[in-house]
């Protein structure tokens, strides 16, 4: 197993990068060029983790990729490129690694990840607000799946650290970008009147 600090760092990097890419394409927040670079780096990091930190990272990220495909969330070039690079990186590191594909954790993470993605999309389409939106946007079902697997003895409790590093990094990028508080694209600010900008600053 990786040194836990390395795992925490890489999981944190992936969580923040994935959200940055999502924001850049879907919300117009951030640089598209930077998002493309992060997609490639994230793909390499993900494939590396899947190969070198097996079975946990193998199950976690394999399920994530499959659930994203099933939920049709790979909806831009950066995510598509990152996915291809992740699979290619896994294949490149595979010969020198001891990769274990644990079917039960993959299925559990897959179901939880798919439910999280569908629930998050449903919350946006329904324009939910308040506690319901916060709950679904947080994607809680993957958390529940991990706690269940740890309780069953499938994984060590130490994996809570990288897992929540991924989650908190994802949420931190969302918060810093203003996505949860400013439901407009930053590239539209220049089109707003001074009065509209003033109202926005008071929200």
Tokens coding 143 = 């958390």
Helix ranges restricted to H, 53-193: 56-70, 77-93, 103-125, 130-137, 140-151, 160-177
- Residue 33 resides in a domain: yes
More confident residue, 65 or 127: 65
> Residue 162 domain-assigned?
yes
Q: What is the structure's pLDDT at 2?
A: 65
Instruction: Lowest mean pLDDT of 6-10, 112-116, 172-176, name the range.
Output: 112-116
Question: Within a domain: residue 190?
Answer: no
Residue 26 has pLDDT above 70, yes or no: yes
Average model confidence (pLDDT) for the chain?
84
Residues 6+ apart with CB under 8 A from 187: 28
Whether 51 is in a domain gets the answer: yes
In a domain, 69, yes or no: yes
Share of residues in the chain with pLDDT > 70 (%):
86
Asked if residue 170 belongs to a domain, the reply is yes
Which region, left, alpha or beta, applies to residue 106 given φ > 0 means left and ψ of -120 to 50 means alpha?
alpha
Domain of residue 116, residue span: 4-180
Q: How many CB atoms lie within 10 A of CB 171?
A: 17
Whole-model pTM? 0.80
Dump the DSSP string for 9-20. Answer: HHHHHHHHHHHH
- Yes or no: say if 91 and 108 are a contact pair by the CB < 8 Å rule: no
Any domain includes 198:
no
Domain count, the chain: 1
Q: How would residue 133 be classed by pLDDT, with cut points 50, 70 and 90?
A: confident
Separation of alpha carbons 115 and 71, rounded Å: 9
Which residue in this structure is represented by tokens 């992060």? Answer: 38
Q: Does residue 133 lie within any of the structural domains?
A: yes
- Specify the higher pLDDT residue, 157 or 69: 157
pLDDT of residue 86: 96
């Amino acid at each position: 197993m990786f040194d836990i600090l390395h795992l925490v760092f890489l999981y944190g990097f992936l969580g923040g990068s994935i959200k940055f890419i999502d924001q850049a394409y879907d919300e117009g927040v951030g640089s598209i060029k930077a998002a493309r670079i992060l997609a490639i780096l994230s793909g390499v990091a993900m494939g590396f983790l899947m190969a070198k930190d097996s079975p946990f990272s193998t199950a976690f990220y394999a399920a994530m990729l499959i659930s994203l495909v099933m939920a049709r969330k790979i909806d831009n070039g950066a995510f598509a490129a990152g996915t291809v690079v992740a699979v290619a990186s896994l294949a490149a590191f595979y010969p020198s690694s001891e990769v274990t594909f644990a079917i039960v954790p993959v299925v559990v993470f897959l179901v939880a990840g798919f439910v999280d993605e569908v629930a998050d999309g449903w919350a946006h389409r329904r324009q939910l607000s308040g506690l319901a939106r916060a709950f679904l946007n947080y994607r809680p079902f993957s958390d529940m799946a991990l706690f269940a697997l740890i309780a069953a003895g499938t994984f060590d409790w130490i994996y809570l650290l990288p897992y929540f590093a991924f989650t908190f990094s994802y949420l931190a990028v969302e918060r810093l970008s203003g996505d949860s508080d400013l439901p407009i694209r930053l590239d539209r600010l220049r089109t707003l009147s001074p009065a509209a900008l003033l109202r926005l600053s008071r929200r």
